[in-house]
Each structure stands twice: as C-alpha cells, then as structure tokens.
Structure 1
Amino acid sequence: MPPSTRTTPSAFRDLPSVVWTIFAGTIVNRLGYLVTPFLVFFLASRGVTGGDTSYVLGALGAGNLIGPAVGGVLADRIGRRPTMLIGLIGAAAAQGALFLAPGVWTMAAAALLISAAGSTVSPAAFALLADAVDSERRRRAYALFGWGVNIGTAVAGVLGGYLAAQGYWLLFAVDAGSMLLYALVVTVRLKEPKREASQQRKDGIGYGVVFRDRLALLLLPLFGVQLFVYSLTEVALPLAVRDSGLSPAVYGAMAAVNAVMVVALQPFATAWLARVPQLVVQSAGSALIAVGVALTGLADSVAGYTVSVVVWSLGEVVVAGIAAGVFANLAPEHARGRYQGAFSWTWGMARFAALTLGVTVYTAVTPATLWWTALVAGTATAAATLTLKTRIERRAAHDLAA
C-alpha cells in the first residue's frame, strides 16, 4: 500500500501501490549500488591500471547495450516480473564472478555480465510503471523512481567509501545481496499485468514498431547526448578526483552530496514544475547539467568539486522523470516494453560512450577537451529538444482523442 498521505510528498500522493513497491525495491537495490562507482579504485587495487582499465570499463558499458534491448523484448514477450527476476538474479551472480576473476579479460567478461543482466531490469520496471498509471501521472511515477534511486545512493555513497576502506569484497557482497532482496520484493509484492494476446502479437516482437516512429527516432539521439553528458559524472568524475590526488572517499562524498540534494529537493521541484511544459523544463535542466559537468574541469579541490556537483545536481532535480515520461507516452500499449527498451538502450549507449569515448578523450587527448565537449553538446541538444515541443504535444492530444 502507498504511504500515508500525511507523510507523502504532494507530488506523489495519488500514485498506486505498484509504483510504491517498485520505489521501495529500487531503494533496496541502490543501497547496494557500490561496485560500479568504485570500480576504477578496485581495479587499481588488483594492479589493473592505464589501458587495461579501459577494457574492463568498456565491457561494463557494452553490457548496457545488450541488456536493455533484450529486456524490452522479454518484457513484452514473457512479462515484466519474469524479466526483472532474470536480470536481478543474473546480476547478483555476476558480482561474485567479477570479484573472483583472476585476470583482466575474465574481469571484463564478468563486468559485461553485470551490466547486461542489471540493465535488463529497467525496461521491464519502466513498462510496469507505464502500465500502472495514466499519461498525466507518468512523469511523477518516473520521478518517484528516480527519487528512490537517489535515496539509496545517498546512503550508498557514504557506505561505499567506508566499505572500500575496509575491503572491496564488502562492496561486492552488499551489491549482490541487495539485488537478491529486490528480487524477493518483486516475487512477493508485484503482479503481472494482464495483456491481450492479440496486442502482444501486434507489430511482431522486434523493435520495428519503434523504428517506424519518426518522433521517437528524433528524440532518442537528443536524449542520448544529454545522458552521455550526465554519465560523465559517474565515469570521468572519479578519474578527475583521482588525478587531483584525492582519495576514493572524496568521490563517495561527492556522490552523497548529489544524492542528498536530489532527495531533499526533487519532490518539491516535481510539484513546483508540474504546470510548466515538460520539454521546457527538460531543456533548461539539461543545460544546467552540461554547465555543472563542464565545471569539473576547473576543480582541483574538495570545494571545487562540490560546486560542480551542486550545479549539475540541480539540473538533475529539474529533469527528473521527464524524458522517461515523454517517451513512455509515445508508446502503444502493446509495445511499452520495447519503447522502454529503446530508451534504456539509449541510456546504455550513453554510458558506453562515456566509458569508452569519454575515458579515451580524457586520457589520450586532454581532460579540458572532454569538459568543453560536454558543455557544447549538452546545451546544443537541450535547445534542439525544445524545438520538438509542438510535435510532442500534438501527438499527445491525438492519442488522448483516440
């Protein structure tokens, strides 16, 4: 059941129990989201540095290209709950494989499995959220999901820094345990929504239904570039912190600053901005993220990194739930899993580009080149997204009339 309305932020009070269950499970899962943010430091502790690090990070990014595509199809084909369970249990097993891997290539293989299995979950969970609420409430449902991510991350950022100092094996144990606990929540609390067989067969089982949607194909690359810029906060920020001679605990503290800001501000921002056109808010927030990420290039102390994190965190608060909600509203009912698979694949592509291209530019060219690129690309795509506002509103009005 949803929490009492007396204790629930106003933006989320009318959301159904399915949304709150996914929210709670997400908090549990993200409490153990520890290995990936500290992977650079773990690899260094195993003697993996320089170019070999990029192989493992690249494999981690590549898995995020496989998982969403598979997860979207499975969510429409076999159901939301089974897809989530496959991903959670598979990712938990892969955590153990990565910790025990004896060399760079086995580490890369395990990292690929972690991200592939873990990213299978998102399309199914997002489709389940879209099934549970109407188009007017989807932005808030996805914002609540993001709020859960950051509540978990707020604790995990501090916890991760402490556990890493005690021994990296603790990171892996907590990560795997949290995934298995989320799988238990899915098993006990979530029910598979009923879908008509004729709808499941409509347009086949592949991604042709998405590829024929011209508006979706315009939005995906624009969102993808914005997500690439945001992904640099997870990928390039720890490299910058390390190169400034600061400890892994500093990066953990920066992650906690971000998470605490989002936890504190997001419910209010979601309510305050509810009446503003979504793409206007999305564009403004994306530009703010780009500026904040670019400020990382000027930082070389805890204070400097804190300023940059505060700026892009404000942008994250502003855009919460909008991109996912906009894309969910484009999807026909029978293809929600595949639309969310395409959106999650775009997320995966952004992270893959950050882990490979971003790291390459940072290490092989100059860090300044990466930060300037982030600023220009982020602000340009934010402006381009705003130009689609009329077409998206017209599409939404047509769908409501139908």
Structure 2
Amino acid sequence: MQLDTAPTAAPTPNPARTSAVQRLFGGLPRQFWIVALGTLVNRMGGVVVPFLVFFLGSRGVSEDATGYIVAALGVGGLAGSVVGGWLADRVGARSALIFGLLAVPAALGVLYVMPSAILLGVAAILVGLAGRLFPPAAGALVARSVSGERRTRAFMLVHWAVNIGVALGAGFAGFFAARGYWLLFVIDGASSVVFAVIIALGIKRETVRTAVPTGKTGGYGVVLRDKLMLAYIGLAFAAETVYALSEYALPLAIRVDGLSPAVYGVTAVVNAVLVVVLQPVIYPLTVKFGRLRTLGLSYVLVGVGVAATGLASSAWTYAATVAVWTVGEVFGGIVAGGIAADMAPAEAQGRYQGAMQWVSSLTRLAAPLLATALFGPALWWLTAAAGIGGALVLARLGGKFKARLAAA
C-alpha cells in the first residue's frame, strides 16, 4: 500500500468574509497606506479652523472682523490649492507634501501670536494657504501608486480616513479648547509634523513614480485646455457648493426655527456616524452600479437632501434631511476622487488634484454668500435644481466620460 505523504492542507478561511475584506482593503500598496495613515492622523488633529470663530472671540475680535478673517482663510486656500498642485508636479509629490505639512505649524504659530484683527487676517491667509498646499500632493501620491479599480478604492478609503479623523477630532476638540486655545494650536501643528515624519520615513524618494523629470513641469494650461475636465470641474463646483450649504444654511435654518444649537450638534453627529458606517458597506454596490451613475445619484441626493432643509422644523426632521444628503455624500466620496485622478495625464496629477482642491476652496467662499443672499425658498429650490441638473448634464456627457476613463 502506498502512503499519501502530501502535506495536509491548511483550513480554508471563510470565503465570504475573506472576499469582503479583500475587496475593500486588499491589493493596495504600502505607499498608499502610509498616506492614508498620515491623513487620518492629520485630520484628527485639524482642530484650529473649526474653533477659529471662538478663538477670535476670545481675542476680542468683533463679529464683522471675524467674518473678514474667516473669508481671508478661504482666500489663502484658493492660492494654496493652485500652488500645491503645481509644486507636486514640479518638485515631486513627496517633497511637496512634506513642505506643505511643515508650513502648517509655522502658519498656525503666526496666527496665534498676532495682536490685532488686521494682522490676524493676514495670518489667516497664510494658514489657508499652508492648509491647502499639501492635499494635492497627497492625492498625486495616491494616484501614482495605484491604477484601475484599485485607484477608485484607494481614494474612497482616503475619504473614509478623512471622515473618521474629523469625527474623532471633534470628539475631543471641545474638551481641549476649554483648557486653552493654545492647546488646539499645539495639537493641530503637531498632527501635521507627525504626518510629515510618517511620509519622510515611510516613503523613500526613489520609490515615488514620476512621469517627467523634475523641473520640466508647465503650468495649469494642461488643465484649462482639457474641456472635459473643465466640465467635470464645473459639475464638482455646483455639487460641492450645494454640499457646503450644510455648513452655513443648515445652522441658519435651525436658528431661524428657534431651535437650540444642540440640534445642529445632533445633525453633525448623524452625518459623521453615517459616513463612517456606510462608506465601506456601500462601496461594493457602487462597483456594480458604475462610477458615473453613482456620481449622478450623489448629485441628486445631495441637492434634494439639502433642499429638504426648507421643509424641516424639528430636530428629527432636520436629522432626516441630513441622512439623505449624507448618503449622497458617501456615494460622491467613493467615486469622485478616482474619476479626477483617471482624467489626469500621469505627468499632471498634482495640477489636476490642485484644480479639484481649488474648487473645494472656492465653494467655501461661494456657499456663505449664496446662503446670505438667497436664504429662504429660493435657495432650497436652487439647490434641488443644481443637484438634478448636475445629474442630467453628467448623463448627457456620459459617453465622453466613459471613453476617457476607459483609456486611463
């Protein structure tokens, strides 16, 4: 009798569990995980800007001056997005990321010590600029480390890390603010330094894939000549402006209804929890649904959800409207970043990411103006029209987008 000497096979893991985890986290390179980890740390520590109004109040800055200083922050962000994207393609995404991150604590230090409203406004421009210098480089590093379906998944996970970090940071920021605003500045600056150290130690210069030699990069003409990308930027601007109204028009509506600020706190918790919980759950569905249809659905849900704010009158109805546009936010967060990366030529990833960051910065200036000028039924009808109209335009251009993305 011949004995079977083959080794005994190892127990087979649960296929369903393994495949679910693998579909979400598998096949992504070390470089991506380093950027994702640093992003999580950085967003957990990003606590100065959310409490900037309270910090300025503690310095005796008037309400009018506070508005100008917050606007100055947005102006700096516009400049930082453009410079950061160009720098990522010019000197390399790794170097640009480290430089931008180290600029943040320096700018925060300047803001903290400024003695007057005018100087605080100047410092706010620097903070806004520094805070937007590094995201295009981080996006370029992610885009250059993966391609195809993995790129979509990578940008989705970065968006997820951002929301987890913001949710965790919000949980302890108020506690530290009560013990002195200087502590918020220390935490915020330290989180950027930690991110820079993670990148410096985790990603060696020679492992970063670049498509063009350093110093051969042009300007933003490559983006401006790309008509399809300009259409995508226009759609993103409309969608993100509607979403940004949740930061301005929503609390204003709650105040007008005579409800407590705690109601706005409840809506913030609903948004954060739903994003963190739903994003990994919904991702497999969007793979089957298709990126463009997912993005169109995102436009509709965000537009209609924010518009429904005009119908709300209690804590529960406000929470219900937030749930609607939060699902839209999740859909958009899963696919939008990967689409922008696939639209970009390999040698211009930084500038394309910078253009998208610029749009995000611009919406933070446009939304408060829009909310102030049109608050009421006109604003809610406009947001619904923008969401539905954006989806229709995307569907109209769907063939061109599909051809472009298929070639990525």
> SS in structure 2 opposite 1:110?
helix
Q: 2:260 aligns with which of 246, 250, 270?
A: 246
Distance 1:250 1:267, change over 3 A: same
Pairs within 5 Å for 1:16-31: 16-31=29-44
**Gapped regions of structure 1 (runs ≥ 5):** none
- The aligned counterpart of 1:123 is 136
Runs of at least 4 residues off by over 4 Å: 4-9, 196-200, 238-245, 249-253, 298-301
Distance 1:195 1:53, change over 3 A: same
Distance 1:39 1:253, change over 3 A: farther
- Check if 1:102 corresponds to 2:115: yes
TM-score normalized with structure 1 length:
0.88
Distance 1:80 1:110, change over 3 A: same
> SS in structure 1 opposite 2:156?
helix
- The aligned counterpart of 1:76 is 89
Pairs within 5 Å for 1:177-196: 177-192=190-205, 193-195=208-210
Distance 1:325 1:7, change over 3 A: closer
Distance 1:85 1:286, change over 3 A: same
**Gapped regions of structure 2 (runs ≥ 5):** 1-16
Bigger drift between 388-397 and 21-30 goes to 388-397
Distance 1:224 1:163, change over 3 A: same
* Superposed displacement of residue 200, structure 1: 6.5
Q: 1:207 aligns with which of 216, 220, 223?
A: 220
Distance (whole Å) between structure 1 residues aligned to residue 383 and residue 296 of structure 2: 15
TM-score normalized with structure 2 length:
0.87
Distance (whole Å) between structure 2 residues aligned to residue 9 and residue 47 of structure 1: 53
Distance (whole Å) between structure 1 residues aligned to residue 370 and residue 109 of structure 2: 28
* 1:65–1:352 CA contact under 8 A, matched in 2: no
Larger Rg: 2
* 2:145–2:209 CA contact under 8 A, matched in 1: no
* Superposed displacement of residue 47, structure 1: 3.9
Pairs within 5 Å for 1:6-25: 8=21, 10-25=23-38
Distance (whole Å) between structure 1 residues aligned to residue 201 and residue 253 of structure 2: 42
> SS in structure 2 opposite 1:320?
helix
- The aligned counterpart of 2:79 is 66
Distance (whole Å) between structure 2 residues aligned to residue 49 and residue 277 of structure 1: 49
Distance 1:105 1:5, change over 3 A: farther
* Superposed displacement of residue 151, structure 1: 0.9
Aligned-partner residue type, residue 400 of structure 2: R
Distance (whole Å) between structure 1 residues aligned to residue 315 and residue 36 of structure 2: 32
Q: Write out per-residue CA displacement over residues 237-274 of structure 1, whole angstroms, 9 at most, x where no aligned residue.
A: 44555664634x65455333322211111011112211
Aligned-partner residue type, residue 260 of structure 2: L
**Alpha-carbon RMSD:** 2.6
Identical residues among aligned pairs (%): 42
* 1:146–1:321 CA contact under 8 A, matched in 2: yes
Distance 1:59 1:371, change over 3 A: farther
* Superposed displacement of residue 178, structure 1: 1.2
Distance 1:233 1:38, change over 3 A: farther
Q: Write out per-residue CA displacement over residues 246-304 of structure 1, whole angstroms, 9 at most, x where no aligned residue.
A: 34x65455333322211111011112211212111111112111222223344455434
- The aligned counterpart of 2:7 is none
Aligned-partner residue type, residue 269 of structure 1: I
Distance 1:310 1:161, change over 3 A: farther
* Superposed displacement of residue 190, structure 1: 2.0
* 2:306–2:322 CA contact under 8 A, matched in 1: yes
Distance (whole Å) between structure 2 residues aligned to residue 238 and residue 45 of structure 1: 22
